[in-house]
Structure 1
Amino acid sequence: MQEHPDGPDRQHRRPDGVDDTTVEALGALSKALETTERARGRLYDFHQMTGTADFQLERAADLLEEAGHPEWAEKIRSEIIGRNVIPGHWTFQIVERYDDTYYGPFRELEATCTRELAHGRRHLYEAELKEQRRTRGRPGHAAGPPATDEE
């Protein structure tokens, strides 16, 4: 991809015939997907933190048993360790259902919409914002990364 001498590369320039409202709509769609990406990350946080807590509970049970409180150790082991977080589900199953039911279809829809309405050119809204906000000719304000021999 060759850098345009005074603007974004071809992949970040609006294709002919794509109007302002479409670019703004695609920007809003992309932002919604980014928010969903963050929500998905929170689900992975939830998944990993719950798993960590389960192993920490095991340590607490072991220490309670060692301290002479086997009834409390057994209560933790039988009532909490390994328990479903919602009926029938461990956290990995929640993540899988979210991916299959919401996240995956959303990603596919966003990609298809971008492909069909903007010839697959992503982040047009942001690229145009960058062009409006950067100061041409100033260090740190280039339209894109410098060309490399690998391009």
Structure 2
Amino acid sequence: MHTHEDGPDRDHRRPEGTSGATVRALGALSKALETTERARGHLYAFHQLTGTADFQLDEAVALLREAGHEEWARKVSTEILGRNVIPGHWTFQIVEAYDRTYYRSFRQLERAAVDELAEGRDHLYEAELKEARRTAGHPDHTARPETGET
């Protein structure tokens, strides 16, 4: 067992009276939020890639015109350029709806659970996992950065 001097800082130690089951439950909740963060990142990638493709259509339209294919240039310009990706929505509106409807609520709930059940201390599950897996005294297995915090 590691001592407090050799273990995690206060913000990563389980508050007195917090059970292992609570730490595991909060760890699972935080892991689900992290997955949602990744999903949101993919949604932003979708938003940016779709926008990039839309701007790339400008070149396609110009090249079709240059090659003498005015009708195809017109079709691309009027049928695809600036088109909604789903009825009534450009990608920014999808991102906004996701944030407003799901993401913000999930973040707020996870934060409230950590605040109430673990005195606001984040990553307790991971901190305890680190303690169980590191080798005490090994220079590459230190419990925390060298900040002087205890």
Aligned to 1:141, what secondary structure does the other structure show? Answer: coil
Counterpart check, 1:59 vs 2:59: yes
CA distance in 1, matches of 2:111, 2:84: 35
Alpha-carbon displacement from aligned partner over 1:82-105 (angstroms, at most 9, x marks no partner): 000000000000000000000000
Q: Which TM-score applies when normalising by structure 2?
A: 0.95
Match of 1:138 in 2: 138
Match of 1:93 in 2: 93
Report the Cα offset of residue 58 of structure 1: 1.3
Report the Cα offset of residue 114 of structure 1: 0.2
Report the Cα offset of residue 5 of structure 1: 1.2
Match of 2:9 in 1: 9
Range moving further from structure 2, 114-123 or 4-13: 4-13
Q: Which TM-score applies when normalising by structure 1?
A: 0.95
Pairwise mapping of residues 1-151 of structure 1 onto structure 2 (< 5 A)? 4-147=4-147
CA distance in 1, matches of 2:20, 2:82: 53
CA distance in 2, matches of 1:82, 1:115: 44
Report the Cα offset of residue 66 of structure 1: 0.6
Report the Cα offset of residue 139 of structure 1: 1.5
Report the Cα offset of residue 11 of structure 1: 0.1
CA distance in 2, matches of 1:136, 1:77: 65
Cα RMSD (Å): 1.1
Alpha-carbon displacement from aligned partner over 1:74-131 (angstroms, at most 9, x marks no partner): 0000000000000000000000000000000000000000000000000000000000
Moved over 4 A (4+): none
Equivalent AA in structure 2 for residue 128 of structure 1:
E
